Structure 1
């Protein structure tokens, strides 16, 4: 079968409108491995959450409440899948402490193995006064990344 992607001499990716049963389709994630290996990588955080169907991450990726996810998928997600750690608030314990090298640093308060999810910074809520103070400091340094939501 030659889908429109193959006719353009491209491999199918999830961004294209190929059907899930297209034999040429690849889901691209870290390493660029083919879809057939998705089940092997389900617990490694390397599969796009919307295609990680064996553990239920695809259900969370479309914002289905956890209560509506099947019991078997919920058990698998809690023990293996690393694709929706932020949504599940599953992260390592971290602490801030003074560094002997320079200023303050972030330190782990529990063991972390290679390729394990640690934390994702999601921003901070600031008062208007604090935002203006930081904005002035950042502009003087030539950097600025303050976003105001109403």
Structure 2
């Protein structure tokens, strides 16, 4: 009876489970863990029965989110409770214990299996992502840089995806964490396991044209919350963390206005993001005909369906001019299911140097000043 009167905070501290404590089981009594030889699993099931009786039944939405949350947080019942927002740590712990008793636990079992893997196999997994079975990853590796892909639309598949009816398979996109398919789907992207800084194409995320996701790339999570040791930070999260350099606007040495880097940077350093209005390809064709007559265009293809127009709303990178020998390069990167345009240094850049990148003009449509700039 004393155990039932403990406050919520004390009960939350017991979520991980213990061997010698008390777990309240029925009305007016408790189950002794170590003294009576009753297993922890049986005690947890009893706690689950009491919690279920004291609260409303779990909804389908809560059960679905609970299943996904176990993959993200493992056995951290309080973190799962905060994500649900409608259940206490005690209720979550009781449901996890009941699931483990039935052999349906996710977090602990998968963690033990991962720890049993040898180091040599772990290093191979670092270079080959779990989704290597999927043809999507092979196609991504073989694509040309900045090749346009279809827009990502989360699939509604039940269980593992089938290439015949899955929208992700059809568009040659990965299944993301937003998809309804099983976490064991062979087309689902599972992030990277890199021990370095994710700066080369050995990182599966970078090789697939996407930034690291702290929900999937667990070694990169410390960078996102600021707890990574100096020299170990993930360098493939610049767009997500908005770690851009300062750029100013001034009169260009080539044509009109230009963009200038205020400090200095090294090759492959992240400079910033090209932003603008999101418009359809049809609207971009209409505006493009007008901009061509004005000899002034800020259109940038984002994917097969959408285009960025920075003419009316954009940042200073819209003033970066064209050069066939640029000091900058742009990459299309996927961040949380959305395509974004990242600008990187193509070489070491000095302070106050004007920024250029290759517009990839065709000979018959390039303006006169761009042709004169070819050397």
Query: Is the radius of gyration larger for structure 1 or structure 2?
Result: 2
- If asked which structure has higher relative contact order (CA below 8 Å, sep 6+), I would say 1
Give the strand-richer structure, 1 or 2.
2
Q: TM-score, normalised to structure 2's length?
A: 0.22
